[in-house]
């Protein structure tokens, strides 16, 4: 039996395939601006700085099972590793895959909605079939083009969410095909179990699939479930229980004890989620870009009446579920959509030790909501509402494009994040970190981080202190930098990344004895020995022994270090080659850096200066235009900084 037949039956006939082409086209156009969105936030430690997803040979793909970041999601990490294998850290390829997964989810949703009863709507006949497909197409577009979905599609690391949704939708579609007699119970059992396992390997939110199968069976297939139906549901439910026990480590957390490095307990998180599920619904219903933000800093519910909206949120959930029960016969799709919305949030909106709020969590729960609303429109009015639906879809598409454009320019993105009430400490830190990376206005960068530290609590202080120390160091305020590194160590212990920076301060201050102790400490640790090579090379350069510095760096590179380490070593080596007047070799190192990570603006800028010094004005101008095209919002400031940048 062909796979297309298993999932879609005869629905892939060419005339019936046309709506899918339009759906794919609209999604592609709306998300085209996302191709230029750089890595941000959790993208860095999951992808850009995660050696487990940066294979250099085929055997390295097994490292995804040893990843320190998101190790419970190996399938999603494997797809990042495949991206890296083909084009390194060039974000365009990552975005293409994310968009394709989103289109695939829209296609699966289209076939799923065709197989669900819509209540009083048209059921038979050619005209009715056409009208039904029109409603299904509109429902899919409402879901896929809602700007709120940018957080699961444009935000690269949230491929975890969209990929898990793909397997979740596939399992639901397979179950409906089985219950309608389209495929055998054996095929259904094997494929649904596989989808469940692959979904869980993408993200744990797929754990609610067994309950979703029960919900679909109750709402859409009223006849007595067969033995095979119970076998399929029982098999996935058993997997759900086993994985749940494994995730919790066989222990139930103390509901009243505050989680480590959090400001809430399991019970407080659960109460807060009673409010957050309504916020997600509000944003989905009116997804203007001004409503959207990546990070949150919500008021944690301290008790059932603190704030009062905690109890109100719970009562509203219970009342809504009761309303769905009364609708189950007349509007089965609406009843199922309401129940599914709350069910699909059953992992990320409970007591687990996760961040309290992220809008991408509505991606899966919202799949049935637009169809539910359309199914409740009386049949005689459905044609008349078509134009209004298209206009609204057009508006949402425009907002999706606008939101994707916002994601392109990170300084502006984080400014908007803070203005819209996002997690203030995180938003300020990320805005300041972006300025720090681009070497813009050190004084303003320092003020932003100091403001963030006034608001940050717990673990959120660590990145702020780290970036503040770097900002002081870059502005040559070495005393303040050293004091900040010490404060970071006192609050959070020694961070391996900070040792190199402290060593550079000792070198600048002429503290030879302290520097030697630091280098010896670094050399004793295999994982961070490269930092010792960088410091010894810097020491040799300061003493005028550039050839010795180059030899040290070349030897460190010969050990095939991890990507981010390799970039640091090649950057230092390029500067050393320039001092040795070995310009061709310096140019080759800089070019290699840009191929490893196209977002390394410093390397691009040095390439432009070298081309200009070599009389290749046209090529240099191309690089400058490329840099400005990546940051049109900061174009004026970029030009000013390029004038200040020293030529190699």
Residues 397 and 419 in one domain: no
For residue 354, give the DSSP letter. Answer: S
Mean pLDDT of all residues in 107-111: 96
Q: Which of 241, 632, 602 is nearest to 437 (CA)?
A: 602
Residues near 566 by beta carbon (within 8 Å), at least 6 away in sequence: 557, 560, 596
Which of 10-14, 79-83, 282-286, 397-401 shows the lowest per-residue confidence on average (mean pLDDT)?
Answer: 10-14
| Last residue of one domain, picked from the residues 458, 483, 508 | 483
Distance from C-alpha of 263 to C-alpha of 451, rounded to nearest angstrom:
20
DSSP string, 141-193: HHHHT-GGGHHHHTSGGGHHHHHHHHHHHHHHHHHHHHHTTSS-HHHHHHHHH
Check residue 645 and give its pLDDT: 38
What average pLDDT does the structure give for the chain?
84
Residues 389 and 426 in one domain: no
Check residue 25 and give its pLDDT: 95
pLDDT in tens, 124-152: 556 667 778 888 999 999 999 999 999 99
Residue spans of beta strands (DSSP E) within 395-482: none
| Last residue of one domain, picked from the residues 483, 507, 538 | 483
Mean pLDDT of all residues in 420-442: 72
| Last residue of one domain, picked from the residues 386, 405, 424 | 405
DSSP string, 463-505: HHHHHHHHHHHHTT-HHHHHHHHHHHHHHH---HHHHHHHHHH
Residue 544 located in a structural domain: no
pLDDT above 60 for 641: no
Distance from C-alpha of 495 to C-alpha of 463, rounded to nearest angstrom:
11
Is the model more confident about 408 or about 229?
408
Check residue 634 and give its pLDDT: 42
Q: Quote the number of domains for the chain.
A: 2
pLDDT above 90 for 611: no
pLDDT in tens, 181-232: 888 888 888 999 999 999 999 999 998 998 899 899 888 886 555 666 666 6
Band (pLDDT 50/70/90 cuts) for residue 648 is very low
pLDDT in tens, 322-361: 999 988 888 899 999 999 999 999 888 888 888 889 999 9
Largest Cα span, the chain: 88
Residues 449 and 335 in one domain: no
Residue 470 located in a structural domain: yes
pLDDT above 50 for 642: no
Structural contact between residues 538 and 568, judged by C-beta atoms closer than 8 angstroms: no
Residue 531 located in a structural domain: no
Q: How far from the centroid of its chain's Cα atoms is residue 265's Cα?
A: 25
Residues 291 and 421 in one domain: no
pLDDT above 50 for 14: no
Mutual angle of helices 209-220 and 227-248, in 10-degree steps: 150
Task: Tell me the percentage of the chain whose pLDDT exceeds 90.
Answer: 37
Residues 248 and 273 in one domain: yes
Check residue 435 and give its pLDDT: 74
Domain that holds residue 225: 3-39+89-405
Which of 157-161, 292-296, 308-312, 396-400 shows the lowest per-residue confidence on average (mean pLDDT)?
Answer: 292-296
- Phi, psi (5° rounding) for residue 22? -65, -40
3-class SS at 511? coil
pLDDT in tens, 44-53: 889 988 889 9
Upper half-sphere CA count for residue 195 (Cβ side, 13 Å): 24
Distance from C-alpha of 238 to C-alpha of 234, rounded to nearest angstrom:
6
Check residue 241 and give its pLDDT: 63
pLDDT above 50 for 632: no
Residues 288 and 401 in one domain: yes
Check residue 281 and give its pLDDT: 95
């Amino acid at each position: 039996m062909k796979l297309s037949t298993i999932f879609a039956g005869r629905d892939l006939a060419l005339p019936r395939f046309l709506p899918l082409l339009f759906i794919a086209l609209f999604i592609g156009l709306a998300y085209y601006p996302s191709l230029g969105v750089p890595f941000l936030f959790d993208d860095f430690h999951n992808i850009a700085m995660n050696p487990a997803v940066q294979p250099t040979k085929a055997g390295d793909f097994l490292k995804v099972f040893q990843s320190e970041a998101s190790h419970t999601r190996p399938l999603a990490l494997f797809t990042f590793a495949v991206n890296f294998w083909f084009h390194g850290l060039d974000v365009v390829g990552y975005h293409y895959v994310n968009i394709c997964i989103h289109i695939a989810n829209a296609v699966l949703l289209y076939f799923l909605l065709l197989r669900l009863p819509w209540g009083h709507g048209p059921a038979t006949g050619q005209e009715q079939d056409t009208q039904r497909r029109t409603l299904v197409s509109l429902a899919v577009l409402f879901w896929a083009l809602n700007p709120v979905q940018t957080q699961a599609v444009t935000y690269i690391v949230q491929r975890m969410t969209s990929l898990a949704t793909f397997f979740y939708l596939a399992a639901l579609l397979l179950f409906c095909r089985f219950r309608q007699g389209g495929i055998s119970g054996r095929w259904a059992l094997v494929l649904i179990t596989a989808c469940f396992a692959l979904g869980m390997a993408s993200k744990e939110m797929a754990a609610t699939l067994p309950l979703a199968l029960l919900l679909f069976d109750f709402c859409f297939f009223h006849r007595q479930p067969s033995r095979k139906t119970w076998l399929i549901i029982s098999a996935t439910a058993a997997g759900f229980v086993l994985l749940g026990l494994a995730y919790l480590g066989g222990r139930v957390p103390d509901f009243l004890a505050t989680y480590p490095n959090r400001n809430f307990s399991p019970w407080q998180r659960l109460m807060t989620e009673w409010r957050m599920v309504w916020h997600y619904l509000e944003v989905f219903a009116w997804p203007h870009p001004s409503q959207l933000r990546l990070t949150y800093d919500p008021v944690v519910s301290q008790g059932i009446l603190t704030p009062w909206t905690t109890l109100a949120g719970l009562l509203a959930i219970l009342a809504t579920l009761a309303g769905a029960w009364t609708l189950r016969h007349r509007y089965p799709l609406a009843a199922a959509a309401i129940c599914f919305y709350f069910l699909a949030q059953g992992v990320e909106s409970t007591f687990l030790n996760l961040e309290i709020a992220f809008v991408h969590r509505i991606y899966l729960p919202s799949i049935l909501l637009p169809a539910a609303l359309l199914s409740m429109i009386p049949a005689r009015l459905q044609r008349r509402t078509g134009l209004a639906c298209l206009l609204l879809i057009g508006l949402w598409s425009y907002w999706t494009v606008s939101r994707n454009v916002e994601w392109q320019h990170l300084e502006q993105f984080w400014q908007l994040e803070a203005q819209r009430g996002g997690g203030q400490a995180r938003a300020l830190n990320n805005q300041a970190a972006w300025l720090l990376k681009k070497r813009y206005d050190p004084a303003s960068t320092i003020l932003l981080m100091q403001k963030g530290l006034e608001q940050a609590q717990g673990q959120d202080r660590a990145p702020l202190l780290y970036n503040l120390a770097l900002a002081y160091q870059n502005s040559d305020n070495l005393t303040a930098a050293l004091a900040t590194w010490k404060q970071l160590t006192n609050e959070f212990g020694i961070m391996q990344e900070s040792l190199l920076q402290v060593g550079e301060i000792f070198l600048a201050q002429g503290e030879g004895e302290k520097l030697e102790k630091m280098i010896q400490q670094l050399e004793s640790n295999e994982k961070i020995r490269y930092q010792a090579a960088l410091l010894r090379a810097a020491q040799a350069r300061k003493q005028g022994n550039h050839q010795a510095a180059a030899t040290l760096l070349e030897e460190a590179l010969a050990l095939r270090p991890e990507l981010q380490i390799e970039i640091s070593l090649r950057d230092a080596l390029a500067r050393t080659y320039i001092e040795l007047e070995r310009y061709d070799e310096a140019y080759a190192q800089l070019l290699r850096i840009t191929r490893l990570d196209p977002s390394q603006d410093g390397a691009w800028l040095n390439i432009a200066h070298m081309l200009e010094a070599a009389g290749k004005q046209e090529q240099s101008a191309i690089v400058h235009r490329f840099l400005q095209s990546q940051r049109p919002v900061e174009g004026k400031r970029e030009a000013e900084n390029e004038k200040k940048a020293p030529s190699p």
